[in-house]
Chains A and B, each alone.
Chain A
Amino acid sequence: MDVTWVIPLVLIILAFSSLIMRIILPRLIQYLKGKGKIGIDVHKLDKPEVAEMGGVGVLIVVCISATIPLILFDNFIVKIQMVVFISVIGLAGLIGLVDDLYRLGSKMKPLLIAGASFPLLLANYFYFNQIFNVDPKFPLIGDAFQITILYWLLVPVAITMAANAVNMIDVVNGSMSGPCMVIFGTLLICSLTKPTLDQHAITGAFLSAIMLGTITVFYLYNRYPAKVFAGDTGALTIGAGLALVGIMGRLEIVTVIVAIPLIINAFQLLASVRGFIEGRKLKSRPSIVQSDGTLAASTDIKAPLTLMRIVMAKGPLKEHEITRQFIILTLVCSILAIITHVMVEYINVVTPP
């Protein structure tokens, strides 16, 4: 199977991951409810019970879908990249699962997620920098700027940051799955519009398609009023997937730009509480549930400054309106990311030495 089959295969992956998720998720919701894995949706006045740990479905579907390019696409490095993807995602998802079941400490979790990047680093070492390129492409200057050694150190940091950033934005119904859907859609467009469909572009397209298909169906069940929560399993799986698309798809800068709403949320939250802290240990909450069911921003100076609080600065919003604001901000960042992608791939104002 050669490069001409990439787009049909991307469409097959999209359809397959959506279909499998559509089959698995309703059954998983019933199973989780039967097992008593339910959480209270605290942002609603009637406090309904919703199935938790729906992210297990995301983890399973993503791993199954990654086997399609592994079997059908005839390129050894792409096959290895798929195996690495399944390994890293699997480890990140397992860490999330353990956190959902037993609660890991706020400092232990980032360390374990950083450790999940080990298969990626190991594979790149054994396959001589073919799994990811240690010299990323920058806008306007191309790959003229080399950060070879630093890149190896940044890989675990990037996976940890992405996983935690996705986890931190999962605050209301669909607030994580909605923006992530836009992010992976943008990354898919950027992968397929590279001037040459090299192995990084192909891997980026396959991984984006796997994530997009899975998250789109998950969003339908996670949006307001939610039938399922992702839990840490889902958030860490999606976050690790985001970092892997950026790293193995050679879309590092584009990923950073499109994920700006997630970065704003995580960065402001960490700066407010000065470090990693468990959400339930926060002394002051960023939002207030009002008597009419709307959510308002807390004016407590000690409350962490999250993206949800920022979008509610002009007045209270309903839960689904908050998710819509998140998606709109991500869509604007998506446009900026596509402009950046054009600058990275097509405009080079500095001639490399």
Chain B
Amino acid sequence: MGIISDIVNKVKILLKDLRRHLGILIIICLIWILLLIGFFFLKVYVGPLQPDTNFVLFLTGLGIPMSIINLLTGMVQLFIAAIYVLMWLYLWHRLIRMYFWRTVMKYNPPTNEKSDEKE
């Protein structure tokens, strides 16, 4: 009986902790889903991006080699991917900040009586 009540108590503590952090857990799940969507978006829409055939003919006509055109195409793809990653990081940053300050203001804010020395 002692072991069972011990397990029940631990499960209760776990559920209480999960409820306490529901906000953070929702944010973590959201950023995880956005990461998966991001990979899919990059593969399906950004990966196959190629310059228009007429534009390639125009550039090769100017004497620009195909290797440079391929490099430029790769750089454009990388730029789009970088913008997505930055947007993802910014959203993550804002969500966490918003969650923290709203929660602190809602629950009794502690007074800054003494700062600790570690960290």
- For residue A192, CB closer than 8 A to chain B, the reply is no
- For residue A75, CB closer than 8 A to chain B, the reply is no
Q: Is the CB of A298 within 8 A of B28?
A: no
Instruction: Looking at the assembled complex, report how far the CB atom of A342 sits from the nearest CB atom of chain B, in whole angstroms.
Output: 12
B17: chain A residues within 8 A (beta carbon): 324-325, 328
CA distance in complex: A40, B119 (Å): 12
Residues of B within 8 A of A (CB): 13-14, 17-18, 20-21, 24-25, 28-29, 31-32, 35-36, 39-40, 42-44, 47, 78, 89, 92-93, 96-97, 99-100, 103-104, 107-119
Q: Is the CB of B28 within 8 A of A332?
A: yes
- For residue A268, CB closer than 8 A to chain B, the reply is yes
Q: Is the CB of A310 within 8 A of B110?
A: no
CA distance in complex: A300, B83 (Å): 32
Q: Given A42-B116, A144-B43, A350-B43, decide whether A150 and B110 contact each other with a Cβ distance below 8 A.
A: no
A305: chain B residues within 8 A (beta carbon): 96-97, 100
Q: Given A141-B40, A268-B93, decide whether A285 and B119 contact each other with a Cβ distance below 8 A.
A: yes
Q: Is the CB of A329 within 8 A of B39?
A: no
- 6 smallest CB-CB distances across A and B, nearest first, come from A296-B110, A313-B103, A285-B115, A42-B118, A141-B43, A42-B117
B14: chain A residues within 8 A (beta carbon): 328
Q: Is the CB of A310 within 8 A of B39?
A: no
14 more A-B residue pairs beyond the given contacts A141-B43, A298-B115, with a C-beta to C-beta distance below 8 A: A138-B39, A141-B39, A144-B47, A171-B118, A271-B93, A289-B114, A290-B110, A308-B119, A313-B100, A314-B103, A329-B25, A336-B29, A336-B32, A349-B40
B31: chain A residues within 8 A (beta carbon): 260
CA distance in complex: A280, B107 (Å): 29
Instruction: Looking at the assembled complex, report how far the CB atom of A43 sits from the nearest CB atom of chain B, in whole angstroms.
Output: 6
CA distance in complex: A238, B104 (Å): 33
Q: Given A313-B107, A328-B21, decide whether A264 and B96 contact each other with a Cβ distance below 8 A.
A: yes
Q: Given A42-B116, A284-B115, A288-B112, decide whether A140 and B89 contact each other with a Cβ distance below 8 A.
A: no
CA distance in complex: A312, B35 (Å): 27
- For residue A9, CB closer than 8 A to chain B, the reply is no
Chain A residue with the shortest CB-CB distance to B31: A260
**Using a Cβ–Cβ cut-off of 8 Å, how many residues does chain A contribute to the interface with B?**
53
- For residue A34, CB closer than 8 A to chain B, the reply is no
Instruction: Looking at the assembled complex, report how far the CB atom of B22 sits from the nearest CB atom of chain A, in whole angstroms.
Output: 10
- For residue A309, CB closer than 8 A to chain B, the reply is yes
A313: chain B residues within 8 A (beta carbon): 99-100, 103-104, 107
- For residue A222, CB closer than 8 A to chain B, the reply is no
Partner of A299, one of B18, B20, B28, B109: B109
- For residue A139, CB closer than 8 A to chain B, the reply is yes
Chain A residues 116-148 with CB under 8 Å of chain B are: 138-141, 144-145
- For residue A275, CB closer than 8 A to chain B, the reply is no
Instruction: Looking at the assembled complex, report how far the CB atom of A286 sits from the nearest CB atom of chain B, in whole angstroms.
Output: 6
Chain A residues 269-309 with CB under 8 Å of chain B are: 271, 279, 282, 284-290, 295-300, 305-306, 308-309
A295: chain B residues within 8 A (beta carbon): 116
CA distance in complex: A77, B111 (Å): 58
Q: Is the CB of B89 within 8 A of A267?
A: yes
Q: Is the CB of B28 within 8 A of A287?
A: no
B43: chain A residues within 8 A (beta carbon): 138, 141, 144-145, 350
A297: chain B residues within 8 A (beta carbon): 104, 110
Q: Given A145-B43, A328-B21, decide whether A310 and B96 contact each other with a Cβ distance below 8 A.
A: yes
